[in-house]
Amino acid sequence: MTLRLTNTAKTYPDGTRALLPTGLTVDTGEVVSLLGPSGCGKTTLLRIIAGLETPDAGGEIWFDEDNVTALPVERRNVGMVFQSYALFPNMSVRANIGYGLKMQRLPKPEIDARVHEVLDMCQLGDFSHRDIAALSGGQRQRVALARAIAPRPRVLLLDEPLSALDAALRETLRDELAILLRKFEITAIFVTHDQDEAMAIADRVAVMSQGRVAQSGTPEELYRNP
């Protein structure tokens, strides 16, 4: 699925205006890192793509040939992973992953099959019956990822998903995530303020500055032309 944004800005009720990178595109199966300092509008952009915020008049979000600007969050089929896991702590790994699928009213055998599939993909098989409260930070982030990809979203939005983890674990999960996104050809946007992380994970890095994409290229191009 190809994602396109046009003219997007967001004015919050208090008057704060977040300018968003006009003309950002993400191609099918591509992993794009959005790199930029805190406050530059990265989270706002993801929330607009997901349908959790409405852009200002004139802004449009396109998924392939569909203008999804007016579609509510539950009809966009977007997956999201955040720094804070937002999991249900007193439910099992399996129940957390299946929750969204139940909301979609998929038949039980289909839910079981999907849960099994993503447990494998995210190396969580051994933990499927544990409660979230009994897991480490890294394991929780794997569950959050599994939950986000279980509905086979059109695009996966990752907002600083590794920031709460310690450095070593962060690198391990980053590498696992890079492999998984490629293997399953997941179209994804990875938001971070960490340059090394952006470079390590993405096919293409878009550098945000003052509300626009100031530079965009493959990690190799950006290393050559910093």
CB of 171 to ligand ADP, least distance (A): 22
- List the one residue from 21, 41, 55, 98 that touches ligand ADP (CB under 6 A): 41
3-state helix, strand, coil in the chain (%, to 5): 40, 25, 40
The pair of three-digit structure tokens given for residue 148, joined into one six-digit string = 């986000």
- List the one residue from 36, 55, 98, 161 that touches ligand ADP (CB under 6 A): 36
Residue 32 near residue 39 (C-beta atoms within 8 A) = no
Write each residue from 150 to 189 as x if it is in contact with ligand ADP (CB under 6 A), else as -, in one continuous string. ----------------------------------------
Distance CA 120, CA 2 (A): 27
Residue 142 is a binding residue for ligand ADP (CB under 6 A) = no
Pick out residues in 45-74 that bind ligand ADP (CB under 6 A). Answer: 52, 73-74
CB of 85 to ligand ADP, least distance (A): 9
Number of residues that bind ligand ADP (CB under 6 A): 18
Residue 185 burial by CB count (10 A; 0-12/13-18/19+): exposed, middle or buried?
Answer: exposed
- CA separation (Å) from 133 to 48, 90, 141? 31, 6, 12
Pick out residues in 76-105 that bind ligand ADP (CB under 6 A). Answer: 80, 82, 86
Amino acid occupying residue 69 = T
* Beta-strand relationship, 17-19 and 9-11: antiparallel
In the complex with ligand ADP, which residue's Cβ is closer, 38 or 90?
Answer: 38
Which candidate, 33, 25, 14, places its Cα nearest to that of 219?
33
Segment interacting with ligand ADP (CB under 6 A) among 9-17, 104-112, 195-203, 212-220 = 9-17
In sequence order, what are the residues at sequence separation of 6 or more whose Cβ sits closer than 8 angstroms to the Cβ of residue 167? none
- List the one residue from 8, 26, 30, 44 that touches ligand ADP (CB under 6 A): 44
- List the one residue from 8, 33, 43, 96 that touches ligand ADP (CB under 6 A): 43
Q: At what angle do helices 137-149 and 167-183 cross, to 10 degrees?
A: 20
Segment interacting with ligand ADP (CB under 6 A) among 13-21, 62-70, 107-115, 181-189 = 13-21
Binding site for ligand ADP (CB under 6 A): 12, 14, 16, 18, 36, 38-44, 52, 73-74, 80, 82, 86
